[in-house]
Structure 1
Amino acid sequence: MKKILVLSFIISSFQLLSAQEAPTRKDTLQGGLRPERTCFDVLHYDLNIKINLEEKSIVGYNNISFKVVNTTSKIQLDLFANMQVDSIVFNAEKLNYKREFNAVFIDFPSPLTLKSEQSLKFYYSGKPIIAKNAPWDGGFTYSKDRNGKPWVAVSCEGIGASLWYPVKDSQSDEPDFGVTIKVAIPNGLMNVSNGRFIGSVPLEENGIKNGYTRWDWEVKNPINTYSITVNIGDYVHLHENYKGLDLDYYVLRDNEAAARMHFEEVKPMMDCFQSKFGKYPFADDGYKLVETPYLGMEHQSAVAYGNKYINGYLGSDRSGTGIGLLFDYITIHESGHEWFGNSITSKDSADMWIHEGFTTYTESVYIECQYGYDKAQQYINGCKLNIENLSPIIGTYGVNKEGSTDMYEKGAILLNTLRHILNNDDKWWKILLKYSETFRHKIIDTETVVSFFNTETGMNLTPVFNQYLKYAAIPKLELRKNKSKLEFRWKTEEAKFNMPVDIKIKGKKYRLYPTNSWKKTKYSVNKIQDVEVLTNDFYINVD
């Protein structure tokens, strides 16, 4: 069956390396961690730009504050090659730099002192890439609302934030103290960015107003660079405080009534997610949904929403069960990323399953909160129809290459399998809560995730993670009857694979502990068809 495209978000094939392509210098410059990147830790971005909507151009600067963690006289920042570096200023002097593809190597006149805090101002201009099919390809989307007013947004996960502003474009480093985003746009429109609105300023040139207003926003928390965003439109602002958390919605003027009703779903979602995953991770920056001309994206504290105020995924049910029509997929999935992807971030895009697998699991968690365990299990198992099992979930490290899009549903069903391996729901929810709280606002990798679950469950789950993440195929449970006794084993690529699995014989439930060698049970069966393997609890094939 043809795979349904899912958020957030699948990057178009031209942006990713195919499995057959060898990494290029450009790939390693974008995805790698060389000394010019690891020598400094970003503290804060202060982005100040003007967007000309008619020219589809940007001019401005990013003031980048950073701490020196290794003595150096050269650092790497990033800005797409189609954008112009106007100047880079440090201590009132222009710095020399060299461009190589999208990388900008900046030379300082003398080595920067270890542990010192520094800042530079990176001036730039140009016309950023325009997305052809946002959000599945990156770039700006220029659209019009029903009244003919401009409606503009950007999405850049995967392709890189440096497509529209100068930045250390690596998931391994988020600004410790957040970002200030100042965006000047034509009068009569509003820009909505991440964090809190801190004011708007009419701009002047030579004492005369120039027709632009600058909209200022501030993020206090660390933030993924691809989450930093602009949204320009004729917006109406809806606000309420729910149990101490500010909920803000910025919607097109004609959609105010629909939004007021439709976004009521946010309240039970927040109740559910905060009970399962802990306090909303960015409460001091607030929670926002911002209507966008594309389907959606997990922009931190400014979640992009474009699902047209209908349930499902543009009105369809990705699980094929009907349960997916009980909620708005974009609201739930993209908000789930606030915990998994925005708060907990993978160090390398090869480990994006840490974002997408956990977030896709939040969909069934929400269903379980609202409608119970059985419907949640029905939904998550229905989503198997979107899994291909053709390539591994984990991608290639150091070259900005994600793995298979199976990271979404297969990653979620891996977690559902772990839940049933543990076979103790009270413990499972405590572990998931502890995971979310332990790595809150942290950047981690797969090894860290596996180690955590091994420790908290008291089990060696490494072979399980390896099989589901590093290989295309899922485990196959082989069953046979030897005389009247049932025999069983696992067939896997992962060596020494062991994972318990539950079966039923004549309605009675048993737990087996297969390995890669045949084992014999004490259970008698008349025919092998009398054995029911609980494949809704364990994502496996059976032979």
Structure 2
Amino acid sequence: MSRSARLVRSAAALVALALPAALTACGTGGPDGAGGAGVGDPYFPKAGNGGYDVRHYALDLAYDPGTRRLSGTARVTARATQALTAFDLDLRGMEVEDVTVDGAAAPFGREGQELTVRPRTRLDRGETFEVTVRYAGRPQTVTDPDGSQEGWLPTADGALALGQPTGSMAWFPGSHHPSDKASYDITVTVPRGLTVVSNGELRSERTTGGRTTFAWHTGEPMASHVATLAIGRYDVTRSTTGSGLPVYVAVDPDQGAASRTVLARIPEVTRWAADTFGPYPFSSTGAIVERPDDSGYALETQNRPVFPGAPDTGLLVHEIAHQWFGNSVTPRTWQDLWLSEGFATYAEWLWTEDQGGATAEQTFKALYSHGEDTYEDLWSFPPARQPGAAHVSGAPVYQRGAMVIHKVRQTVGDEAFHDLVRGWTAAHRHGTAGTGDFTAYVEEQAPGKDFDAIWEDWLYGEGKPDRL
């Protein structure tokens, strides 16, 4: 992700400037057979839900841009990780019409973002069940603790749904925490003439009676915060990379000319990233380019990141790198976000180095010497210990996170670092990982090397380290 107030700057531009406990997907159960309301995330404790693990979302939605009304049926398939007499789903706003569990009507209640469901019969531990929720209303735009907006963003010709960190609960019920990933089928009906773009693969498109239905399928596990819907008028291009990977690009017509050159580099950047980080983890790649006013930031939505206007090459590299770091290897808690943003930022450094520009070492030294000129809060907190939810996307998470990665590279050497990174993405492919997992992995892969100073000074240390 790249927030508007903290857009990641290219390495060339910079040089020119002179452990929480691991969460499980099931979370913590509540009393008397009730699933917990939230998984206890350090910064978003009510996000996600305890007592079950979601396996699949099937969303059947209809949207009218004129009234801004969304109606939907969500079928959530999950496995109980404890005996359940009640469980929660995250859903912000919207009116719930009815709920069933395995086809039987189930009583439900609402309190804040929690939709509490009480199945007619107890669900046993290990049992797979399906909860169906019918709902409707005008989905909300959510303001994050850092002031940026997410959730459901109305646009001039449709809408854009972005979820990081918790905005996805504005448009469908579920367990909205990165530790609980699932596959998705998203079917959306809109007025004829509009296009719906989502994650994964477009399975079908059919028009009947003045309305068009688009059916998208995501087979690989996906965290809800990188699920997206883009509804509007787009110029769509389909192609393949040299290796045969499908490329699906949707661009607002106003951004077509400005985007054309950089979007043409998607196959090149994807191939470079695969060479650097390991096999591409998903079934397609691409991009969604909106108008600049539709979103204040880019986001690494799975398969095809969203950009607010035409991106530059550095931002394209950043968001494509997130397909490995953030989407395939997903942070287990929001406090672990530096693992995603630090690696994606470091990918920009590596790309610039490989293109014959500033080396990563030069970028690192420039950032250490005068990075605070560009990032005022660079040394205000350590990347793995943000002071609160409002700082989850702060500069230390991105820039100091990348510096941690570079310190590891300095310690192990270039060849071992290349193997280490590819091994990390393979070991946690389509899973989740926390900071402790990463530090343990690095130490296991480089026995005899001393990383204590890196963890103490760069990852967890307060203020600017005394020396390089």
TM-score, reference length from structure 1: 0.72
Secondary structure of the residue aligned to 2:221 is coil
1:465 aligns with 2:464: no
**CA offset at residue 275 of structure 1?**
0.9
Change (3 A) 1:77 1:351: same
For CA contacts below 8 A with separation 6 or more, give which structure has more relative contact order: 2
Q: Which residue does 1:438 correspond to in 2?
A: 427
Which of 342, 355, 362 is residue 378 of structure 1 equivalent to?
362
Q: Deviations over 1:440-485 (max 9, x none)?
A: 11111111011001111223424522432333313214xxxxxxxx
Identity of aligned residues (%): 21
How far does residue 189 in structure 1 lie from its aligned partner after superposition? 0.8
Alignment-mate amino acid for residue 225 of structure 2: Y
Q: Which position in structure 2 is the counterpart of 1:182?
A: 187
Are 1:33 and 1:398, in contact at CA under 8 Å, matched by a contact in 2? no
Q: Deviations over 1:135-167 (max 9, x none)?
A: 9321333233xxxxx142122202331122111
The answer to whether the 8 Å contact 1:344/1:442 transfers is yes
C-alpha displacement at 1:333, in angstroms? Answer: 1.1
The structure-2 alpha-carbon separation of the partners of 1:104 and 1:463, relative to structure 1 and needing over 3 Å to count, comes to farther
Alignment partner of 2:134 out of 123, 128, 146: 123
1:192 aligns with 2:197: yes
Tell me the distance in 1 between the aligned counterparts of 2:153 and 2:393: 26
Q: What is aligned with 1:274?
A: 274
Return the match for 1:352 from 333, 337, 361. Answer: 337
2:104–2:120: 8 Å Cα contact kept in structure 1?
no
Structure 1 residues 296 and 68 mapped into 2: Cα distance closer, same or farther (>3 Å)?
same
> CA–CA distance in 1 between the matches of 2:121 and 2:71?
29
In the alignment, which of 91, 102, 126 is matched to residue 102 of structure 2? 91
**Equivalent in the alignment of 1:169:** 176
Contact 2:141 2:170 in 1 (8 A): no
User: Matches of 1:259 and 1:300 in 2, distance apart?
Assistant: 20
Rounded Cα–Cα distance in structure 1 between residues aligned with 2:62 and 2:4? 37
CA drift of 1:340 comes to 0.4
Distance in 1 between the 2:261 and 2:5 partners?
27
1:202-241 deviation per Cα after TM superposition (whole angstroms, max 9, x unaligned): 35xxxxx2x3211110000000101111111211221221
Distance in 2 of aligned mates of 1:446 and 1:47: 33
Q: Distance in 2 between matches of 1:429 and 1:298?
A: 23
Instruction: Specify whether residues 395 and 110 from structure 1 end up closer, same or farther in structure 2 by C-alpha distance, changes over 3 A only.
Output: farther
Counterpart code for 2:361: Q
Structure 1 residues 104 and 375, CA gap change in structure 2 (3 angstroms): same
CA-to-aligned-CA distance 1:299-343 (integer Å, 9 cap, x gap): 00121122425x3xxxxxxxxxxxxxxxx2331111111010001
Aligned-pair CA distance for 1:46: 0.2
Alignment correspondent of 2:75: 63
Structure 1 pair 190–135 and aligned structure 2 pair: CA distance change class (3 A): farther
Aligned to 1:451: 440
Distance 1:109 1:397, change over 3 A: farther
Indicate the residue corresponding to 2:249 in structure 1.
Answer: 249
Q: Deviations over 1:63-119 (max 9, x none)?
A: 000112222222121001x22122111233221123222112211122212322211
Query: Partner amino acid for 1:391?
Result: F
What SS does the aligned partner of 1:392 have?
Answer: coil
- Is 1:305 matched up with 2:307? yes
1:27, 1:399 within 8 Å by CA — same for their partners in 2? no
The Cα of 1:131 is off from its aligned counterpart by 6.0
Compute the RMSD of aligned alpha carbons: 2.9
The answer to whether residue 89 in structure 2 is matched with residue 77 in structure 1 is yes
- Alpha-carbon separation, structure 1, partners of 2:46 and 2:158: 37
The alpha carbon displacement at 1:174 in A equals: 0.5
Q: How does 1:100-499 map to 2 (within 5 A)?
A: 100-130=111-141, 136-144=148-156, 150-175=157-182, 178-203=183-208, 209=209, 211-242=210-241, 243-253=243-253, 255-256=255-256, 258-282=258-282, 284=283, 286-292=284-290, 293-294=294-295, 295-308=297-310, 311=312, 328-371=313-356, 374-383=358-367, 384=371, 385-386=374-375, 387-395=377-385, 402=392, 404-422=394-412, 424-458=413-447, 459-477=449-467
Match of 1:43 among 47, 50, 55: 55
Whether the 8 Å contact between 2:381 and 2:387 is mirrored in structure 1 is no
Matched residues in 1 for 2:348 and 2:309: separation? 16
What is the rounded CA distance, in whole Å, between the counterparts of 1:330 and 1:89 in structure 2?
Answer: 43
Supply the distance in 1 between the matched residues of 2:332 and 2:211 (Cα, whole angstroms): 38
Q: Report the CA distance between 1:392 and its aligned residue.
A: 3.1
Once residues 230 and 470 of structure 1 are traced to their aligned partners in structure 2, the CA distance between those partners, rounded to angstroms, is: 36
Q: Does 154-163 or 404-413 show the bigger shift? A: 154-163
Larger Rg: 1
Q: For residues 135 and 186 of structure 1, what CA distance do their matches in structure 2 show?
A: 32
AA of the residue aligned to 2:71: V
- Range with greater deviation from structure 2 (105-114 or 55-64): 105-114
Distance 1:469 1:97, change over 3 A: farther
Which range is displaced more, 403-412 or 224-233? 403-412
Q: Contact (CA 8 Å) 2:151, 2:168: kept in 1 or not?
A: no
Q: Distance in 1 between matches of 2:365 and 2:265?
A: 23
The code of the aligned residue for 2:463 comes to A
Structure 1 pair 377–151 and aligned structure 2 pair: CA distance change class (3 A) = farther
CA contact (8 A) 1:394 1:403 kept: no
| 1:28 and 1:399 in contact (8 A); partners too | no
Alpha-carbon contact 1:186-1:213 (below 8 Å) kept: yes
Deviates more, 1:464-473 or 1:193-202: 464-473
Inter-partner Cα distance in structure 2 for 1:453 and 1:257: 44
Q: Output the CA distance in 1 between the equivalents of 2:462 and 2:387.
A: 17
Separation of aligned partners in 1, 2:387 and 2:430: 22
Q: CA deviation at 1:381?
A: 4.4
- How many residue pairs align between the two structures? 424
